[in-house]
């Protein structure tokens, strides 16, 4: 299972309908947060995202992506959290995140580690990597791609039986890519009954950004691209001035990257209730687009490979 829950989908200021930025990724029982705007902890409670996460990845330090972390950590302390929390962010992490972590007079009851990351970093996990890429937003900013490692190729049990390979450990060895010797002395290699490795799933979160080549490169064939789209086409100048994207620009990024699906977030309060204008502008370029709303959960399925 890989899914994304939008905790906040509005730009800059919270409104009744849209909180400021926050994203919870849930993968095989693990929760990872990206950005943590003011009020994120209450959104987590509302939308059933537990506090058992270990890591928060910040795209940048504008207040609408950051202010929620202090309260969230305090609540976790009151809930007797003891396990460490890791906060990642671009240049300035120690100073900015350190201030947020230590704000107020309470002491943290559990370790909070702050790690500065930069574009090009690849944080390896058991089954996936978090890839850090450059974005363009008039500040030190990054985006993140979660890229699962390739899965084993498909194992063909009928072929295994035809070859007289007894069901059991030998099947597992072949599936993992090792040649096996059968009781009768024959050697069988995996290529005879295991397909080529299948790609894992990938999702990309841009944070605030202008359209940028590095975003396109990070989003190549992504199963899900979550791109900011603060403005509509009539505010292109304003998007340029403030380092944001229009809906159509985000759609062109998705198109050029060959992403499977695009979800727009960080929506200006002007489109708070009705973002249909943004949706139409984006879908004219990239039909597989939707607009995020608070509490929306999207599953990221495996791409079906046609044989
Ligand atoms: Zn923002
Ligand atoms: Zn920003």
Predicted confidence (pLDDT) per residue in 91-127, tens digit: 999 999 999 999 999 888 899 999 999 999 999 999 9
Q: Which residues of the chain have pLDDT under 70?
A: 305-307
pTM of the model: 0.93
pLDDT of residue 307: 44
Structure tokens at 115: 């790690």
pLDDT of residue 273: 87
pLDDT of residue 6: 98
Report the Cα–Cα distance between both ends of the chain, in Å, rounded. Answer: 24
What is the distance of C-alpha 96 from the center of its chain? 22
pLDDT of residue 304: 73
pLDDT of residue 305: 58
Spatial neighbors of 170 by CB under 8 A, at least 6 apart, are 180, 182
- Ligand 2 mean position, distance from CA 186 (Å): 63
Q: Which residues are catalytic?
A: 64
Counting ligands in written order, the one closest to the CA of 37 is 1
Which residues place a Cβ less than 5 A from the ion ligand 2?
A: 62, 208
- Ligand 2 mean position, distance from CA 230 (Å): 10
Counting ligands in written order, the one closest to the CA of 64 is 1
User: Is 114:101 a contact under the CB 8 Å cutoff?
Assistant: yes
* Nearest-5° Cα angle at 174, 169 to 176: 95
Counting ligands in written order, the one closest to the CA of 12 is 1
């Amino acid at each position: 299972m890989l899914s994304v829950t939008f905790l906040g989908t509005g730009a800059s200021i919270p409104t009744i309908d849209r909180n400021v930025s926050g994203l919870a990724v849930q993968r095989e029982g693990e929760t990872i947060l990206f950005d943590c705007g003011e009020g994120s902890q209450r959104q987590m409670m509302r939308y059933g995202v537990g506090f058992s996460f270990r890591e928060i990845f910040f795209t940048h330090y504008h207040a609408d992506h950051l202010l929620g972390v202090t309260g969230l950590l305090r609540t976790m302390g009151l809930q007797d959290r003891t396990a460490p929390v890791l906060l990642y962010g671009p240049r300035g992490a120690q100073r900015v995140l350190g201030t947020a972590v230590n704000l107020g007079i309470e002491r943290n009851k559990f370790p909070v580690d702050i790690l500065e990351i930069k574009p090009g970093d690849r944080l390896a996990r058991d089954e996936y990597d978090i890839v850090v890429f450059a974005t363009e937003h008039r500040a030190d900013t990054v985006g993140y791609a979660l890229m699962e490692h390739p899965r084993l190729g498909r194992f063909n049990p009928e072929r295994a039986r035809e070859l007289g390979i007894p069901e059991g450990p030998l099947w597992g060895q072949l599936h993992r890519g090792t040649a096996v010797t059968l009781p009768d002395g024959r050697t069988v290699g995996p290529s005879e009954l295991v397909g080529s490795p299948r790609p894992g799933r990938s999702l990309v979160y841009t944070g605030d950004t202008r359209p940028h080549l590095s975003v396109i490169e990070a989003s190549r064939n992504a199963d899900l691209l979550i791109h900011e789209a603060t403005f509509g086409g009539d505010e292109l100048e304003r998007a340029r001035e403030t380092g944001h994207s229009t809906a159509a620009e985000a759609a062109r990024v998705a198109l050029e990257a060959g992403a499977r699906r695009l979800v727009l977030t960080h929506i200006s309060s002007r489109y708070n209730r009705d973002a249909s204008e943004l949706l139409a502008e984006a879908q004219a370029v990239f039909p597989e687009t939707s607009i995020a709303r608070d509490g929306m959960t999207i599953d990221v399925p495996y791409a079906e490979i046609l044989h």
